[in-house]
Amino acid sequence: MAKIHEVAEAAGVSISTVSYALSGKRTISAETRRRIEQAVRELDYRPNAGARMLAGRRTNIFALTEPFRADTYAPAHMAFVLATSIAARRYDYDVLLLTEEQASAGMRRVARSGLADAVLVLDVAPDDERVELARHLDIPSVFVGVPNDHDGLVCVDLDFEAAAGLAVDRLADAGHRTIGLLGHPAAAYHRSNFPPRVRAGFERRARERGLADTVELPEFGGARRVAVRAALGVLLDRGVTGIVLHCDEEAHVAALDELAARGLRVPDDVSVVSVGSTFDTSSMQPPLDVLPLVPQASCDLAVDLAMQLLSDAVPPPGVRLVAPVYHDHGSVAPPGRR
């Protein structure tokens, strides 16, 4: 592996000139820069990571804490990890994966050994042990997700509440007066930070628009299909004509199957809107309107904020909500043909 000293020699300049040329922190004449860049290319030079960390007090590494649990829904989490990694690369940062069940241990270890410049916190629980730790860590952190107690933290997330509100609006605008939310199982409301926000947004907007609303949280203990069937039954019995779906892909499919089995067509008999999905609802049978959760949107912003936290223009703590976007796939229509 070539070293900066060899580059300097090849370019006929001093070591420090090479360093400045590469970092751009001091002006270097065009000609000198050209020679240095050529030497770098010829020698296939890349600064040694350890030396850079030690001298520069920059590791160019983000720690990513993602405490994989048994019940973790893999596809969504993988999408977030991937999106974070891609976002980090834009700034020439790499991602160190912390997966230990004792999430705090990893964060503390990495911070104390100066292995990372900042911590990105994924899969945030409403009452997350990492919140308290983040406050006392000596490197900055960004939460992708909003814990209950987020005082002094920098958080990024989709505005789930607004998303649910827009879903309700769409149904109300189409003329529905009785709507229902088919949500994640009740347990998810303690484990994850966003289901409660969807529910709150749903209920608030329903109230504001004067709609009758019902919330059903199927228990997936046994067969998923059975639970979804039961929940859907409750909603339909109450005369629901518009349904907001906030659950995983399997439950979506099960719900659509069940509607079909009951002879109900979407959107002719029932209107459906999906909220906060990370999977593709546009190729379902039928395609569903959706206000998706886009990992890239949150992760790009999270990485941007992390970079700012490392600069001297430190942004203030607070929650940054990403505005939801409505994608129309034709699953909402006026009620009443039933």
Partner DNA sequence: CCGTGGTGTCGAAGCGCTTCGATACGCAAG
Partner DNA sequence: CTTGCGTATCGAAGCGCTTCGACACCACGG
Binding site for DNA (CB under 7 A): 3-5, 12-17, 19-20, 22-23, 25-29, 31-33, 45, 47-48, 51-52, 54-58
Residue with tokens 């160019």: 60
CB 77 within 8 A of CB 299: no
Strands, E assignment, the chain: 61-65, 94-98, 118-121, 141-144, 154-158, 178-182, 212-216, 242-245, 271-275, 289-291, 318-322
**Residue 61 binding result from a second copy, DNA, none, given CB thresholds of 5 to 8 Å by partner type:** a second copy
At 282, the amino acid letter reads S
CB of 15 to a second copy, least distance (A): 16
Q: From the list a second copy, DNA, none, which binds 13 (C-beta under 5 to 8 Å, kind-based)?
A: DNA
Q: How far is CA 82 from CA 52, 66, 78, 224, 249, in A?
A: 26, 12, 6, 28, 19
Determine if 72 is a binding residue for a second copy (CB under 8 A). Answer: yes
Query: Please, which residue, 47 or 126, has the CB nearer to DNA?
Result: 47
Q: Identify what 32 binds: a second copy, DNA, none; CB under 5 to 8 Å per kind.
A: DNA
Q: Which stretch in 88-96, 125-133, 150-158, 316-324 sits in contact with a second copy by CB under 8 A?
A: 88-96
The answer to whether 229 contacts a second copy (rule: CB under 8 A) is no
Separation of alpha carbons 185 and 243, rounded Å = 16
Q: Is 53 in the site for a second copy (CB under 8 A)?
A: yes
- In the list 59, 65, 214, 331, the residue contacting a second copy (rule: CB under 8 A) is 59
**Cis, bond preceding 267 (omega within 30 deg of 0):** yes
Which is closer to a second copy, CB of 138 or CB of 237?
A: 138
Applying CB under 8 A, which of residues 5, 46, 90, 190 lies at the interface with a second copy?
Answer: 46
Q: Which is nearer to a second copy, 236 or 306 (CB)?
A: 306
Residue 59 interface partner, choices DNA, a second copy, none, CB cut-off 5-8 Å depending on type: a second copy
Q: Which residue in the block uniquely carries the two structure tokens 């605008």?
A: 173
Structure tokens given for 52: 């850079």
The b-or-e profile of 236-270 (16+ CB within 10 A means b, else e) is: beeebbbbbbbbbbebbbbbbebbeeeebebbebb
**Residue 192 near a second copy by CB under 8 A:** no
DSSP lists the bridge partners of residue 94 as 61
- Residues of this chain, 261-280, that bind a second copy according to CB under 8 A: none
Binding site for a second copy (CB under 8 A): 1, 44-54, 59, 61, 64, 68, 72, 74-75, 77-78, 81-82, 85-86, 89, 94-100, 109-110, 112-115, 138, 223, 285
